[in-house]
């Protein structure tokens, strides 16, 4: 048998041996049961076995190590847990498979860690058939380096430890979310016992814990990325007036916000002017957001926030002051 065939066979037989058994197998038992391990010295078996375990882990087959206390002396036992190995049949129709395949063709995820969707489609039942809806055009999205590790935590419910803004975090990762050009992680932060949103491109040094380490929390709700809503303080209701162009931009950026038309919408000058009420927690975030509209937006109420914004702008006018 060619060396290549021999390695493929050995990996497959290792999986069948660990799936077929009801109790974890010791290294000696594995050596006995898997053809390809029997020949050669014990040390070379251990080396080959370790490499095979790594190969299998890379393809998603997790080999669990448990202590076999019944043995004397206690020794390590190995097994593959079926519920961790198996993908339930998603029941995709050929047309649904084809639509997923078409989606991966037009969407270009730019990043080094992104997987080959073809490997996934073979597991899901193939590449399907039928004409998928024509996509409107190519879609390009950058994928930060940490995203795959973070998503692995989401999928398998693993605790994640990482560096973020110069501090160490331990979190339950619940969902990844893409908005306005950035990937976010919605998580329960165990260090502060509260929900937190993290920018994935600022996450560094990810360490993943064991699978199934926490329960999903449906109550975490949606991710907040509105700059004026960051933080934990009390919220103030602020009324902002927007001209037609600014209102159109906000309607597109924040479709959930309700825009209140002001005055006669058919009137010539000022047509399309709208007010919006924002629940502001972070005043600096509000100011940064407001200047994106330059002089197309105005703080109307309450007077304290209006005065605060005016003061913030006056401080930027230099020695000349307001003219």
Site for another protein in 131-190 (CB under 8 A): 132-133, 135-143, 147-149, 151-152, 154-156, 174-181
- The answer to whether residue 223 forms part of the interface with another protein (CB under 8 A) is yes
Characterise 221 by phi-psi region: left (phi > 0), alpha (psi -120 to 50), beta (else): left
Q: Which is nearer to another protein, 69 or 304 (CB)?
A: 304
- The answer to whether residue 68 forms part of the interface with another protein (CB under 8 A) is no
Within 10 Å of residue 95's Cβ, how many Cβ atoms? 12
- Residue in 26, 27, 48, 99 binding another protein, rule: CB under 8 A: 99
- Residue in 28, 50, 67, 113 binding another protein, rule: CB under 8 A: 113
- Using CB under 8 A as the binding rule, the residues of this chain from 18 to 57 that contact another protein are 19-20, 32-35, 55
- Residue in 68, 213, 249, 277 binding another protein, rule: CB under 8 A: 249
Q: Which is nearer to another protein, 116 or 232 (CB)?
A: 116
- The answer to whether residue 214 forms part of the interface with another protein (CB under 8 A) is no
Q: Which is nearer to another protein, 51 or 279 (CB)?
A: 51
To the nearest whole angstrom, how small is the minimum distance from the Cβ of residue 282 to another protein? 13
Bridge-partner residues for 274, per DSSP? 242, 261
Whole-angstrom distance between the N-terminal and C-terminal Cα of the chain? 89
Is residue 227 within 8 A of residue 282, CB to CB? The reply is: yes
- The answer to whether residue 239 forms part of the interface with another protein (CB under 8 A) is no
Distance CA 305, CA 238 (A): 8
Region near another protein per CB under 8 A, out of 66-74, 196-204, 229-237, 262-270: 196-204
- Residue in 46, 47, 122, 279 binding another protein, rule: CB under 8 A: 122
To the nearest whole angstrom, how small is the minimum distance from the Cβ of residue 269 to another protein? 14
- Residue in 234, 255, 268, 303 binding another protein, rule: CB under 8 A: 255
To the nearest whole angstrom, how small is the minimum distance from the Cβ of residue 316 to another protein? 4
Distance CA 246, CA 293 (A): 6
Q: Which residue has the tokens 């933080």?
A: 231
Nearest to 105 by CA among 132, 74, 126, 70: 132
- The answer to whether residue 264 forms part of the interface with another protein (CB under 8 A) is no
Distance CA 78, CA 80 (A): 7
**Alpha-carbon dihedral 33, 36, 38, 39, rounded to 10 degrees:** 170
Distance CA 240, CA 149 (A): 41
**Binding pattern to another protein, positions 282-321, x when CB under 8 A?**
------x--xx-xxx-x-------x---x--xxxxxx-x-
Q: Which is nearer to another protein, 175 or 283 (CB)?
A: 175
Distance CA 213, CA 292 (A): 42
- Residue 18's contacts (CB-CB under 8 Å, 6 or more residues apart) are 25, 30, 63, 78, 79, 80
Q: Which is nearer to another protein, 128 or 281 (CB)?
A: 128
- The answer to whether residue 73 forms part of the interface with another protein (CB under 8 A) is no
Distance CA 24, CA 44 (A): 22
- The answer to whether residue 238 forms part of the interface with another protein (CB under 8 A) is no
Distance CA 314, CA 307 (A): 10
- Residue in 39, 41, 73, 115 binding another protein, rule: CB under 8 A: 115
- The answer to whether residue 4 forms part of the interface with another protein (CB under 8 A) is yes
Within 10 Å of residue 186's Cβ, how many Cβ atoms? 22
């Amino acid at each position: 048998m060619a060396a290549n065939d021999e390695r493929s066979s050995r990996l497959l037989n290792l999986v069948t041996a660990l799936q077929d058994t009801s109790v974890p197998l010791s290294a000696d038992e594995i050596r006995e049961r898997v053809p390809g391990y029997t020949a050669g010295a014990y040390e070379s078996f251990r080396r080959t076995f370790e490499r095979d375990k790594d190969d299998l882990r890379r393809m998603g087959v997790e080999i669990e190590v448990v202590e076999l206390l019944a043995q004397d002396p206690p020794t390590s036992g190995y097994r593959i847990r079926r519920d961790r190995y198996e993908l339930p049949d998603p029941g995709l129709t050929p047309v649904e498979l084809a639509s997923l395949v078409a989606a991966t063709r037009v969407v270009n995820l730019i990043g080094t860690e992104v997987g080959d969707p073809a490997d996934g489609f073979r597991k899901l039942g193939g590449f399907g058939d039928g004409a998928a809806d024509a996509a409107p055009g190519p879609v390009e999205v950058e994928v930060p380096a940490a995203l795959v590790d973070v998503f692995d935590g989401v999928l398998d419910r693993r605790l994640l430890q990482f560096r973020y803004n110069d501090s160490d975090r331990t979190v339950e990762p619940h969902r990844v979310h893409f908005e306005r050009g950035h990937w976010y992680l919605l998580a329960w932060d165990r260090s502060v016992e509260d929900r937190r949103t993290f920018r994935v491109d600022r996450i560094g040094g990810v360490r993943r814990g064991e699978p199934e380490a926490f329960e999903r929390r449906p109550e975490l709700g949606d991710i907040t990325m509105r700059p004026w809503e960051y933080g934990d303080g009390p919220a103030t209701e602020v009324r902002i007036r927007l001209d037609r162009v600014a209102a159109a931009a906000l309607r597109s950026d924040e479709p959930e916000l309700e825009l209140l038309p002001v005055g006669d919408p058919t009137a010539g000058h000022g047509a399309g002017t709208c007010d919006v009420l924002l629940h502001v927690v972070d005043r600096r975030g509000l100011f940064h957001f407001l200047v994106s509209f330059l002089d197309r937006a105005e703080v109307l109420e309450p007077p304290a926030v209006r005065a605060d914004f005016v003061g913030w702008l006056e401080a930027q006018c230099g020695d000349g002051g307001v003219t």
